[in-house]
Amino acid sequence: MSWFCLEINWVGLALLILATAYVIGGYESAKEGITTLWSEKELDVDLLMIVAALGAAALGLWQQEYHLIIDGAVLILIFAISGALETFAMERTERNIQKLMAITPDTARLIVDNQETEIPVNQLKMGDFILVKPGELIPTDSIIIEGISTINQAPITGESIPVDKTVGDEVFAGTLNGNGVLRLQVNKSPESSLIQRVIRLVEQAKTETPPSQRFVEKFEKIYAKVIVISGILLAILPPFLLN
């Protein structure tokens, strides 16, 4: 065929660039689509997209209508961008979870019979008395029973200005104590603290599939099968029906 003999000119260079785009942009979608087909015996949109793009490229080369190759490359580009955005969102969620976990201290100053003992935060129980010095993080949600200070609650509430706290006020795990020494009574276990609940909710939102996404995933499987069957019928029936 004549397209095998393309000279190294702008057309050949453009085809080389498009072929590179097909390989780089379509690799992940092709891998995911083939994996789904092999393991779940299901067609998905990723595989359908790759077949459509390769079909457009083959038709474009066969008929030397190179705009069809560009159409296939654009299709792959759209899927590659959507996949990259999804990956970015997941990684950002993971980073946010890690940041929330990092602002929780590992140890706390437990007060028993006026004696200070440093213990792991996960050993604290409701009703324990703890001491927090200036510049330290609050180990778990507690009530102030002695002392006055300002608390930086930005990691929890987003407030940029520290909040004044006094006896009877609640302070939250992961917030930063200002310039006062605080004696606190634990009113929530570490695993039940506000920041831990936020972390669990974020992790749950990351792993659970919302109803709208479940509907789309179910629809795309049906859609992929319908498109493939329709394509096969359109390729086979017209020659027989229309001679």
- pLDDT value at residue 1: 47
Q: Could you tell me the domains of the chain?
A: 2-101 (no CATH), 106-199 (2.70.150.10)
What pTM does this model have?
A: 0.59
- pLDDT value at residue 243: 65
| Dist CA 95 CA 99 (whole Å) | 6
The 10s digit of each residue's pLDDT in 78-118 is 888 888 888 888 888 788 777 777 778 889 999 998 888 99
Below-70 pLDDT ranges, the chain: 1-14, 243
178 CB burial (10 A radius; 0-12, 13-18, 19+): middle
Give the type of residue at 144.
Answer: I
User: Which stretches of 132-175 are DSSP H helices?
Assistant: 154-157
- pLDDT value at residue 2: 47
Long-range CB contacts (< 8 A, 24+ apart) of 43-49? 43/221, 43/224, 43/225, 43/228, 44/220, 44/221, 44/224, 45/220, 45/223, 45/224, 46/79, 47/224, 48/224, 48/227, 48/228, 49/75, 49/76, 49/79
| Dist CA 142 CA 195 (whole Å) | 13
- pLDDT value at residue 10: 59
- pLDDT value at residue 165: 94
